[in-house]
Every structure is written in structure tokens, then in C-alpha cells.
Amino acid sequence: MVTHFTEEISPSVWYGWGDPARAKPLAPGALEFLRRTLRLASVEAVHPPVDLANVRVGPSALDAMVLAELGAITGAGHVSTEAAERILHAGGKSTPDLLRRRSGDALDAPDAVVFPGSSAEVAELLALCAKRQLAVVAFGGGTSVVGGVEPLRGRFAGVITLDLRRMNRLLHVDPLSRTATFEAGIRGPAIEAALAPHGFTLGHFPQSHQEATLGGYVATRSAGQASTGYGRSDDLVKSAHLETPAGPFDAGSLAPGTAAGPKLLDVVVGSEGTLGVITRATLKVSPAPAAKVYGSWSFPSFAAGADALRRLRHDGVRGDMPHVCRLSDTDETASTFKLGGWKTGALSRYLSVRGQKTPALALFVWEGDGRQARARRRRSARILQRAGGIPLGPVPGMSWEHGRFSGPYLRDELLTRGVFVETLETAATWGRVEDTYASVRRAILDALEVNGAAAYVQTHISHVYSDGASLYFTFLSGLEKDALAQNARVKAAASNAIVAAGATITHHHAVGIDHAPYLGAEIGDLGIKVLAGIKNTLDPEGIMNPGKLIPIDTEETP
Ligand SMILES: Cc1cc2nc3c(=O)[nH]c(=O)nc-3n(C[C@H](O)[C@H](O)[C@H](O)COP(=O)(O)OP(=O)(O)OC[C@H]3O[C@@H](n4cnc5c(N)ncnc54)[C@H](O)[C@@H]3O)c2cc1C
């Protein structure tokens, strides 16, 4: 049996990702590639984060009485107003979040961080916060990249962050029905470690897996790297228990199918902490695979590769689809080879002779019984080759898997070296994938290439559906003096291009603050009112995560 290698790491450092001691520095060749491509005078590491002692954080707005009331619920040791703890909870992990904290600005930190130990404590805390008019931010791993855990006070007397890390148990496994119930604060590696003795996997591996939590997955509708095979978090979840200011809400059903009215579970899934706190959830699990089989193919262009993925999904037997299915555009393929230090001379010559001068690389992983997985790869290979793919063997896929959780460390090094880097994502129907790709890519480049600056945009597809695919853009440029304005400019340009293309404003990062202004274009004014009405029922005082998901001016409209 293959146990998914998912190593437990300590919660992230305050200015960046994970445990910096685990970061592998960029090789000199990769740095020179970046310097040349971005036309930078230097990529010396001269922009480090300020010292923690120099981070600005205001005094807590909570008085001794409120702190004592919080402590009476959780135990005083589980309520913190320490600056270091508040700074750690001052936001998520988007590039603007990190830029702010790295520059020493944590003035928006919560007034206190509270660590509840049970659903009952969460319920009591919400009742107290409603009474004392305190805003509440539910905090899982804090890996939001859309401002989802920003501790906005709104019109409230203060804001507390509820960090769910103490609620981290596997509660129940039903091996016959293949479901498991977890507390919400359990992180990715702990989920896999708890399921392994039962012979199961959740199969949910977002790149943030080592830090993100089950509650965060459900609250954001996350998609993992193997979601083409196992399904997204919103496919996996069967039921969830939500503590709301209006009382407990059990949404969903363990029944295999039901026609008992609208699916209220969908009110909770993707609610981003705006309705209440998910304290436990039951999700589908799968047998841990006996084997993994890897494959990679090269295509003459991104469009040709995308069409090959579509054909794989449409023409192949459904069960033959790989669990992991990733296609890089030609820019991402080139930078993967350069930054990864690959020696690609012979490969480039071979592909060039076969008509692929600027190849687009696709990686696949099939999981399951070894013999069957190999047969699925064989059948898929025929489709991929008919679609113009050249087989490149298992090594690129294995190498991607080996390094797949170390990518986030790279951003910290790049920011330190004066390189702006950020990502955004969308999804489009097959008929619109190519146009969406082209227009969003163009919008990002135009927004970054100002005043003679150079930029690099690379894109991949990592989730393949019957009717379309995701598009994930990573972009780099020199860090401008006002890097927050630089980020806002490119984010607005890309978001407008996504809306104009008729694609979704977010395929898996969720809405948070950053996408809230664009949600109306996707779900309509009435859709926003429906959301506001649900919020008004479950959170009549509006204390739950103000300013997220629902655009702020409509939030109070019943
Ligand atoms: C480097 C990096 C890589 C990423 N890769 C992926 C990826 O591959 N796929 C993907 O889908 N996303 C990815 N993300 C985004 C992020 O990891 C996901 O949104 C993840 O699901 C968030 O989980 P979390 O526990 O960190 O939630 P948090 O960041 O703590 O919270 C996210 C939102 O959910 C709410 N929330 C959290 N827990 C609860 C709860 N128990 N009850 C109610 N609301 C709650 C918060 O209030 C907030 O609105 C990535 C982020 C980073 C930084």
C-alpha cells in the first residue's frame, strides 16, 4: 500500500511559509535566469522581513473583564493577547498579506486569539461575542490567499480570532460506507496519518496541505492536486456541524442520496466563516492506493495539450482518468526546467526534431491497484499520443510529486530578493479555455509591464472536468516601491479579464475580501441578497467574519 507522503510541519512562520529551515535556496543558474528574464539589476537578498520585535501591532481593544469572560469559557491559558500570537493571526498567506507583515505592519491584528477545545466552547464564545459586539474570525491553517482571515473589525468593538488547532481529532471511521468524521482543526498531514491505520486516504492534497485544515477545506471549497481523481473538497463532504450565533446547525445527510429539499449543506460549504464555525465534518474517504503509476507527455502547444486533456476526459473510459492531471503552458514548462536545474539539452534537441520547439509538459499520476493503474496508463497513452503527445516517461511526474509541497517556500526567497510573485486562478468551459487563458495572461502582462518593467507569466491546468478545466496563473516581476499598489493593479486587471471572459472569479481559492467585489457579476444581485438573507438568519448581529464573501455594503441587507 502506498502511504501518501505528507509530512507534519510546524505552523507557518509569521512572515511567510512553514518552517524556513526546510527551504531549499534557489540555485545560482535559476537566479540568473530570473534576473535576466525580469531585466533586474540584481537579485541580491536585500529585502528581508523586519525583525519580529519591530512589527507594529496596536494595543488590544479588549478590557480585562472581556478577557476574563473568554478565559472562563476556554481556560485562561487558551486566550492570548501576546503580540507574537496576534501578529501570526493578522492575516493569511497572500502576497499582499506577506508584504504587509514583512514590512512590519500588523496594525490590523486581532485583539485576541482564542483556542477553543470543543463545539460547546465555540457555541459559548459566539454567544459572548454577539453580546459584547465583537467580530469573530474562524482560523484554520491561516493559508487563505484571498484575505479570508483578515481580522476586520467593521463596526464592532473589537475582533477575536478563533484558532481551531486544538480541535484536531479523527472522531469516527465508517469503513463500510467509506466515510470519516473529523474535528475541523485537523491539518492535512494529521488527516492522512489518522486514516492510514484504517487503510484509507482523504485524497485531498492542496499545495497548502501541510498547513491547511479540514474546516478550511470545507469553508473554502478547496481543490487538491489529485482532485481530478478523488474530487474537490465540496465533492467529498457529506455533512458538517456548524456553530452559529443563532444556534447549532447540522447540514447535510449521511444518506447516500436524498431528495429532502434543497441541499442545505451547500450553504455551509464555501461559507468562509461568514455564517458560523464548522466544528466537525464527515467526508468520503478512499482506500489508500496500492500503487502509483506516473507518466508525462509533451505537446507542441498549451492549446494542443488542453485539447488532449479534454479528449482524455471525453474519449477515455471515465475510470481511466489520472488522479493527478497537470498541463503547463510553454512558459511554465521552460521555467520548471530552468528553476529545477534540469539538464534539458538532449531533450530539447529531441523534441525540436519532432516539431516541439517550445513544448508544453503534461504530468499524470494514476493511483490504485498496480496492474490496473498500469493498464489505465496504457489506455490513456493511446489517447494522448493520438492527440499529438510525445511520451517522456515517469521521471518528470515523480520529480514534481517529490517537490510539490516545497514550492511555497520559494515565494519567501523571491520577495527577499526583490521579486514580486503572486498567483491567481479561474476555470472555464472547454470552448472558452483558450480565450480565457490568452486574455487573462495578456491583462496580467499589461498590468506588470509598465515603465519598462519586464514580467513573466506562466500558467497550468491542474483540474480537468467533463465540461472544462481550471487555469492557474503565476506571475513574476521586479518588486515596485509600492508593491501593494502593484499587486492591486494586476489583481484588478486579471479579475476584470476573468469576468469579461465569462469564467469564474475563483476555481478554488475562494472569495474572501479580494474577490467579493466580483461575486455579483457571477451570481447576480439577487444571488448576493440570498446570501445576505442566509447570513441574517444564522448571524443576525453580523459578527461572523465581516467583509468576506458578501460585498460589505450588502451584508446587512436582510
Ligand atoms: C502556498 C499555498 C498553496 C495553496 N494551494 C491551494 C490548492 O492547491 N488548492 C486550494 O484549494 N487552495 C489552496 N490554497 C488556499 C488555501 O490553502 C485553501 O483555501 C485552504 O482550504 C484554506 O484552509 P485553512 O485551514 O488554511 O483555512 P484558513 O486560511 O484559516 O481560512 C480560510 C477561510 O475559511 C474560514 N474557515 C477556516 N476554518 C473554518 C471553520 N472551521 N469554520 C468556518 N470557517 C472556517 C476562514 O474564516 C476563512 O474565511 C493555497 C494557499 C497557499 C498559501
Q: How far apart are CA 413 and CA 421, in angstroms?
A: 10
Is residue 154 in a domain? yes
As annotated, the binding site for substrate includes: 411
Q: What atom in ligand 1 is closest to the CA of residue 545?
A: 47
Whether the predicted pLDDT of 12 surpasses 50: yes
Is residue 256 in a domain? no
Q: Can you tell me the mean pLDDT for 215-238?
A: 97
* Cα distance from N-terminal residue to C-terminal residue, the chain: 52
Whether the predicted pLDDT of 489 surpasses 50: yes
Which CA distances in Å does 157 have to 143, 275, 362? Answer: 26, 19, 52
Task: Encode pLDDT of 494-505 as tens digits.
Answer: 999 999 999 999
Is residue 471 in a domain? no
Q: What is the pLDDT of residue 7?
A: 81
Which three three-digit cell numbers place residue 538? 444564522
Long-range residue pairs from 380-384, CB within 8 A, at least 24 positions apart, any chain: 380/295, 380/312, 380/316, 380/320, 380/321, 380/322, 381/295, 381/297, 383/308, 383/311, 383/312, 383/315, 383/316, 384/297, 384/308, 384/312
Is residue 48 in a domain? yes
Q: What is the pLDDT of residue 345?
A: 83
Our mutation pick for probing the ligand 1 site, out of 125, 136, 144, counting the most ligand atoms within 8 A of Cβ, is: 144
Backbone angles phi, psi at 364, to 5 degrees: -135, 145
Q: What is the pTM of this model?
A: 0.96
Our mutation pick for probing the ligand 1 site, out of 14, 213, 220, 233, counting the most ligand atoms within 8 A of Cβ, is: 220
Q: What atom in ligand 1 is closest to the CA of residue 217?
A: 21
Q: How far apart are CA 52 and CA 125, in angstroms?
A: 30
Is residue 528 in a domain? no
Q: How far apart are CA 405 and CA 144, in angstroms?
A: 16
Which CA distances in Å does 530 have to 64, 365, 552? Answer: 39, 40, 14
Q: Catalytic residue at 437?
A: no
CA of 545 to the centre of ligand 1 (A): 14
Which three three-digit cell numbers place residue 455? 514580467
Say which CATH number the domain at 118 has: 3.30.43.10
3-state SS record for 477-542: EECCCCHHHHHHHHHHHHHHHHHHCCCCCCCCCCCCCCCHHHHHHHHHHHHHHHHHHHHHHHCCCC
Which protein residues are within 6 Å of ligand 1, measured from CB? 92-93, 137-145, 148-149, 164, 184, 206-208, 212-213, 215-217, 219-220, 222-223, 272-273, 277-278, 408, 508-510, 545, 548
Q: How many C-beta atoms lie closer than 10 Å to residue 268's C-beta?
A: 25
Domain stop point among 362, 379, 404: 404
Residue of minimum CA distance from atom 21 in ligand 1: 217
Q: Which residues pair with 541 in a beta bridge?
A: none
CA of 301 to the centre of ligand 1 (A): 32
Which CA distances in Å does 374 have to 149, 196, 305, 318, 370? Answer: 43, 24, 21, 15, 6
Our mutation pick for probing the ligand 1 site, out of 99, 208, 241, counting the most ligand atoms within 8 A of Cβ, is: 208
Of 230, 437, 472, 518, which residue is the catalytic one? 472
DSSP H or E run through 314: helix 302-315
Residue of minimum CA distance from atom 9 in ligand 1: 206
Domain stop point among 163, 191, 212: 163
Q: What is the pLDDT of residue 344?
A: 81
Whether the predicted pLDDT of 42 surpasses 90: yes
**Domain count across the chain:** 2
> Do 9 and 18 form a contact (C-beta atoms < 8 A)?
yes
Q: What is the pLDDT of residue 553?
A: 59
ipTM exceeds 0.95: yes
| Residues 6+ positions from 170 with CB-CB distance below 8 Å | 180, 181, 182, 186, 191, 194, 195
CA of 450 to the centre of ligand 1 (A): 32
Whether the predicted pLDDT of 433 surpasses 70: yes
Q: What atom in ligand 1 is closest to the CA of residue 184?
A: 41
Q: Can you tell me the mean pLDDT for 359-388?
A: 96
Task: Encode pLDDT of 272-319 as tens digits.
Answer: 999 999 999 999 999 999 999 999 999 999 999 999 999 999 998 878
Q: What is the pLDDT of residue 1?
A: 67
Whether the predicted pLDDT of 558 surpasses 70: no
DSSP H or E run through 391: strand 390-391
Strand runs labelled E in 68-111: 79-80
CA of 220 to the centre of ligand 1 (A): 6
> Do 339 and 43 form a contact (C-beta atoms < 8 A)?
no
Whether the predicted pLDDT of 2 surpasses 70: no
Is residue 275 in a domain? no
DSSP state of 544: B
Q: What is the pLDDT of residue 556?
A: 46
Q: Supply the mean pLDDT for the chain.
A: 95
- Read off the amino acid at residue 138: A
As annotated, the binding site includes: 272-278, 411
At 329 the three-state DSSP class reads: coil
Q: Can you tell me the mean pLDDT for 246-271?
A: 96
Q: What is the pLDDT of residue 339?
A: 76
Query: What percent of the chain clears pLDDT 90, i.e. is strictly above it?
Result: 91
Say which CATH number the domain at 331 has: 3.30.70.3450
As annotated, the binding site for FAD includes: 272-278
> Do 100 and 106 form a contact (C-beta atoms < 8 A)?
yes
> Do 278 and 538 form a contact (C-beta atoms < 8 A)?
no
Is residue 273 in a domain? no
Q: How far apart are CA 496 and CA 491, in angstroms?
A: 8
Is residue 120 in a domain? yes
Q: What is the pLDDT of residue 557?
A: 39
Domain stop point among 404, 433, 454: 404
Residue of minimum CA distance from atom 5 in ligand 1: 207
CA of 208 to the centre of ligand 1 (A): 8
Q: Can you tell me the mean pLDDT for 38-64?
A: 96
How remote is the C-alpha of 242 from its chain's centroid? Answer: 22
Task: Encode pLDDT of 523-557 as tens digits.
Answer: 999 999 999 999 999 999 999 999 999 986 544 43
Task: Encode pLDDT of 132-190 as tens digits.
Answer: 999 999 999 999 999 999 999 989 999 999 999 999 999 999 999 999 999 999 999 99
DSSP state of 554: G
What range does the domain containing 312 cover? 291-404
Query: What percent of the chain clears pLDDT 70, i.e. is strictly above it?
Result: 98
Q: What is the pLDDT of residue 4?
A: 58
